[in-house]
Structure 1
């Protein structure tokens, strides 16, 4: 019984450590860019700063930076005026899945932080 508890405690620490490591791999500039954009959408207030900072932290806990970066790139390219060339950022299932993962993480962050 004690071994099982020790094993579960060790597993919990490792899981928390993995989430913290994943969250810390976001560059400061990417976090700042997210917070600034979020704040602009939410009134540029101190409260918005706190909520938006919470949101990027929550997203970073859920998604590795490479996934976040890929989804953000695809969304920016979709918003551009690429015409038919933009299909590469809309159509592949991998792109839709990556964007879906970001949207899911954003939804969970909104529930937690706003």
Structure 2
């Protein structure tokens, strides 16, 4: 019995030692391509949750149906717009109606209109994709 246990442990040790020499991560070429493509999900969890809550508020309140559709919409927007760009676009969108000179900072720059339009288009596409009418 003891000899069987020793042989089993020896076999397991040799198998593990053989596996230790094998690379267990992505190949360097694949890792390099992945790093160049950027992160697949750069939106913080809090930003996604805030987006979903806002979407549910706009669609009649918190229920499972809205949760499902708004989570889908958040994922679609995140696929097409990095979080940093979304953050800038939402600031321009929310503060463009500020009156006077202060509002001009958010209304007038070419980047403001460009980002607001891009966000509006992405959200419209996400709405069509996620909210079946």
Q: TM-score of the superposition, structure 1-length normalised?
A: 0.76
Give the total of aligned pairs: 99
d(CA) in 2 for partners of 1:67, 1:100: 12
- Measured after TM superposition, the shift of residue 76 of structure 1 is 2.0
Structure number with higher relative contact order (C-alpha < 8 Å, ≥ 6 residues apart): 1
Alignment partners' CA distance in 2, 1:97 and 1:46: 34
Query: Paired residue for 1:90, among 88, 91, 107?
Result: 107
Q: How does 1:65-76 map to 2 (within 5 A)?
A: 65-76=83-94
Q: Which runs of 4+ in 1 moved over 6 A?
A: none
Specify every segment of 5 or more residues in structure 1 that has no aligned partner in the other structure, as ranges: 1-13
Post-superposition Cα deviations, 1:17-45, rounded to whole Å, max 9, x if no partner, equal x48x34x1001111111100110111222
RMSD: 2.4
Structure with max Cα Rg: 2
Structure with bigger helix share is 1
| Runs (5+) with no aligned partner, structure 2 | 1-32
